[in-house]
Structure 1
């Protein structure tokens, strides 16, 4: 079901506010395939970022394996991850 008009949402005190009754109605009107696609669209960026952070932490752990790691190395790894987001 395509959205015909914007949902009743806005910003309040710097936070996104969504009419959950309207969102629930929209969600329930979707087929399971549409719900799956919506979930993939919503969560893929979070999964990508979490994966990048996990890889960066693993790289830091491997580089630090009992040794002192220069701040420049830590900074470079953090920059690489943050630039992806």
Structure 2
């Protein structure tokens, strides 16, 4: 969802959404490795930190963002 909003480029501060997308791409394979192949406390800590960071950045994006004015009004 965050990547789709970033692509539409209708909001200020959309770089935060790109950071969230990268954190998701980092966290999901880490979860699979941790649960299926190699369990380690470091992986669990990294997964927890990335999830908390994702939620924090997304919440600040939702609170602080403003819609940018567009030249043509397209409604999806």
Question: Which TM-score band applies after superposition, normalised by the shorter structure?
Answer: 0.3 to 0.5
Q: Which has the higher contact order (CA 8 A, sep 6+)?
A: 2
**Could you tell me the TM-score, scaled by structure 1's length?**
0.34
Bigger fraction of residues in strand: 1
